[in-house]
């Protein structure tokens, strides 16, 4: 039995409540992460493998490294846009852990994140971190798997040649086959439409207008948000409606937005329930890559509105229909997006991409369920039997079964805040005490620096 450790928010077989997803951040700030980590589980699960989730928090201690070396035969790391400045500290922690491992380390689909012009200059400050990570991985595996052309070129420019373009595991949820998108018929006001938008796309295109036009055109509309912040807003609510007049016309991020007001926002948690809901829609479009891969896996046509390299290189690699967001009219009709979409290359070239992905797994000593197992039948049956929580929707303030959790969590936060205030107050008193002592010493020397410092400190102190 081969024991494989997988970096993921949770095992797909663990049933977590909405509260657990939010408090423990099991989605890694974005529910799209669970789509490719669950796909990794399904792909690697055979009768001869035992899979364990490592969680998303990296513990780079010698003790943890020793445990992994002794208990597992391989460490598999599915990644997304890990080569970005905001992820540098996390990447360094992973490198520290990997450098202590003696077992194979296999990276599935890491990507660089820059603008849609593929300009990697913004990655210069983290070049040493990227080199360190890739070097550590290649010392423990024959090659590193990247998402697409940009990342492969970027790593080769850094001096690495053992780089394989394998895409993202999420696209191989069904192995060598891929669902043919259903014909939605004529898309009009009666169609059931899904839309997804990224806060990071605001600087590239008019996403607020996209949301507004979708809301006005389609009574049966679902806005699929994916961030932890969206889930928290749905679960806890906010007070914006009490202080903001009029209807919110911006990106859906507050309860004043009509999509929230009319309970048309969902944050998916488990991929199974996500795909089940998407299968009931006619068409989906938006800026999120996994927000559009998910409907494709469910057999629902979708089109990606590309705003950066992480979405563009996957669209190009998989022939996913897409349009560039920059310059796209905010009133673009999804009917036009669908009519211009060509799903032929996505379907006809999928087998070749799967063979490439399978070859990468073979070279790294990993079996897959579609070649060495039951094609995922046992996995699908096990997941289908689970009673999973629904996607997070707007809390209407009634007793939804989580009131006790909400009160308990608020009490914990209040207690933590009070302890922090007490600790800061004590620390401030000690600092003022030291300042007084220093001021006396300076005064004894005839210096006027002490009073000047005291006046500045008093100005900085909070009042009331």
Domain residue ranges in the chain: 2-175+347-384, 193-344, 404-460
The pLDDT of residue 463 is above 80 = no
- CB proximity list for 446: less than 8 A, separation 6 or greater: none
Mean of pLDDT values over 344-348 = 98
pLDDT class for 20, splitting at 50, 70, 90? Answer: very high
Q: Which residue has the tokens 């081969």?
A: 2
Long-range contacts of 251-254 (CB under 8 A, 24+ apart): 251/197, 251/199, 251/202, 251/207, 251/208, 251/211, 252/197, 252/211, 252/223, 252/225, 253/199, 253/229
CA 70 to each of CA 54, 65, 99, 143, 144: distance values in angstroms, whole numbers, following the listed order = 15, 9, 15, 23, 23
The pLDDT of residue 246 is above 60 = no
pLDDT value for 238? 86
Q: E strand or H helix at 208, and its extent?
A: helix 207-217
pLDDT value for 397? 76
CA 414 to each of CA 39, 217, 228, 311, 418: distance values in angstroms, whole numbers, following the listed order = 39, 43, 21, 40, 6
Give the span between the Cα atoms of 382 and 376, in whole angstroms.
10
CB atoms within 10 A of CB 193: 22
CB atoms within 10 A of CB 451: 12
DSSP 313-324: HHHHHHT--EEE
The percent of residues above 70 in pLDDT, for the chain, comes to 94
Higher pLDDT, 283 or 438: 283
Give the span between the Cα atoms of 9 and 400, in whole angstroms.
25
pLDDT class for 436, splitting at 50, 70, 90? Answer: confident
Closest CA to 248 of 208, 218, 199, 200: 208
pLDDT value for 412? 77
Do residues 199 and 227 touch, judged by C-beta distance below 8 A?
yes
Tell how strand 163-165 and strand 105-108 pair up: unpaired
Tokens representing residue 43 in the block: 């792909």
CA angle 239, 200, 9 (to 5 degrees): 80
- Any idea which architecture 193-344 has in CATH? 3-Layer(aba) Sandwich (3.40)
Tokens representing residue 275 in the block: 């795909």
Give the span between the Cα atoms of 142 and 74, in whole angstroms.
13
pLDDT value for 179? 98
pLDDT value for 248? 72
Do residues 304 and 289 touch, judged by C-beta distance below 8 A?
yes
Rg (CA), the chain: 25
Higher pLDDT, 281 or 433: 281
Measured torsion, CA atoms of residues 93, 94, 96, 100, in degrees rounded to the nearest 10: 150
pLDDT class for 250, splitting at 50, 70, 90? Answer: confident
> Counting beta carbons within 10 angstroms of the beta carbon of residue 412, is it exposed (0 to 12), middle (13 to 18) or buried (19 or more)?
exposed
Give the span between the Cα atoms of 16 and 269, in whole angstroms.
9
pLDDT value for 310? 94
Residues in the chain, total: 464
Give the span between the Cα atoms of 354 and 99, in whole angstroms.
30
The pLDDT of residue 464 is above 80 = no
pLDDT value for 86? 95
pLDDT value for 260? 93
Q: Which residue has the tokens 């063979």?
A: 355
Do residues 199 and 177 touch, judged by C-beta distance below 8 A?
no
Higher pLDDT, 409 or 251: 251
Tokens representing residue 137 in the block: 């991985």
Q: E strand or H helix at 133, and its extent?
A: helix 127-138
Tokens representing residue 222 in the block: 């679902």
pLDDT class for 418, splitting at 50, 70, 90? Answer: confident
pLDDT class for 456, splitting at 50, 70, 90? Answer: low
pLDDT class for 415, splitting at 50, 70, 90? Answer: confident
Tokens representing residue 317 in the block: 């690699």
pLDDT value for 446? 56
Give the span between the Cα atoms of 73 and 1, in whole angstroms.
9
CB environment 12-41: b (16+ within 10 A), e (fewer): beeebebbbbbeebbbbebbbbbbbbbbbb
Higher pLDDT, 447 or 185: 185
Closest CA to 105 of 116, 97, 114, 93: 97
Fold matches, 2-175+347-384 and 193-344: yes
| Fold (CATH) for 2-175+347-384 | Rossmann fold (3.40.50)
Give the span between the Cα atoms of 151 and 302, in whole angstroms.
25
pLDDT digits (tens, 9 = 90+) for 162-202: 999 999 999 999 999 999 999 999 999 999 999 999 999 99
Give the span between the Cα atoms of 415 and 423, in whole angstroms.
12
Tokens representing residue 55 in the block: 């969680």
The pLDDT of residue 351 is above 80 = yes
CB atoms within 10 A of CB 429: 10
The pLDDT of residue 290 is above 70 = yes
pLDDT value for 68? 98
Average pLDDT, the chain: 93
Residue 57's Cβ-side half-sphere holds a number of Cα atoms within 13 Å equal to 6
Q: In what order do the strands lie in the sheet with 322-324?
A: 265-266, 221-224, 193-196, 283-286, 302-306, 322-324
């Amino acid at each position: 039995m081969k024991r494989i450790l997988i970096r993921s928010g949770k095992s797909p077989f663990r049933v977590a409540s909405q509260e657990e997803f939010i408090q423990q951040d099991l989605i890694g700030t974005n529910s799209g992460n669970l789509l490719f980590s669950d796909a990794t589980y399904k792909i690697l699960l055979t009768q001869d493998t035992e899979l364990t989730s490592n969680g998303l928090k990296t513990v780079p201690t010698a003790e943890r490294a020793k445990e992994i070396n002794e208990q597992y035969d391989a460490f598999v790391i599915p990644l997304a846009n890990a080569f970005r400045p905001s992820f540098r500290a996390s990447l360094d922690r992973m490198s520290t852990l990997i450098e202590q491992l003696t077992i194979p380390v296999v990276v599935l689909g890491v990507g660089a994140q820059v603008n849609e012009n593929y300009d990697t200059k913004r990655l210069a400050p983290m070049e040493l971190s990227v080199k360190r990570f890739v070097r550590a991985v290649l010392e423990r595996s024959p090659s590193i798997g990247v998402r697409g052309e940009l990342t492969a070129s970027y790593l080769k420019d850094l001096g690495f040649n053992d780089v394989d373009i394998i895409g993202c595991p999420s696209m191989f949820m069904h192995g060598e086959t891929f669902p043919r998108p259903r014909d939605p018929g004529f898309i009009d006001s009666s169609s059931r439409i899904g839309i997804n938008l990224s806060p990071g796309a605001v600087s590239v295109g008019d996403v607020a207008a996209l949301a507004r036009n979708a809301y006005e055109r389609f009574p049966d509309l679902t806005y699929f948000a994916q961030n932890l912040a969206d889930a928290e807003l749905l679960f806890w609510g906010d007070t914006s409606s009490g202080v903001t007049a009029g209807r919110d016309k911006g990106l859906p991020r507050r309860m004043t937005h009509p999509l929230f007001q009319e309970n048309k926002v969902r944050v998916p948690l488990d991929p199974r329930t996500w795909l089940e809901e998407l299968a009931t829609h006619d068409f989906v479009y938006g800026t999120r890559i996994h927000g559009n891969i998910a409907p494709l896996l469910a057999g629902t046509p979708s089109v990606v509105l590309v705003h950066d390299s992480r979405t563009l290189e996957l669209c190009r690699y998989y022939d996913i229909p897409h349009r560039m967001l920059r310059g796209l009219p905010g009133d673009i009709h999804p009917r036009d997006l669908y009519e211009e979409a060509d799903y032929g290359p996505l379907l006809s070239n999928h087998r070749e991409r799967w063979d490439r992905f399978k070859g990468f797994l073979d070279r790294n000593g990993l079996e897959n369920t579609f070649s060495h197992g039951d094609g995922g039948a046992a996995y699908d049956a096990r997941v289908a039997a689970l009673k999973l929580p629904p996607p997070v929707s707007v809390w209407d303030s009634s007793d939804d079964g989580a009131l006790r959790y909400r009160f308990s969590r608020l009490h914990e936060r209040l207690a933590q805040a009070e302890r922090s205030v007490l600790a800061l107050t004590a620390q401030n008193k000690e600092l003022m005490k030291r300042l007084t002592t220093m001021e006396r010493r300076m005064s004894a020397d005839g210096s006027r620096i002490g009073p000047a410092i005291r006046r500045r400190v008093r100005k900085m102190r909070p009042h009331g």
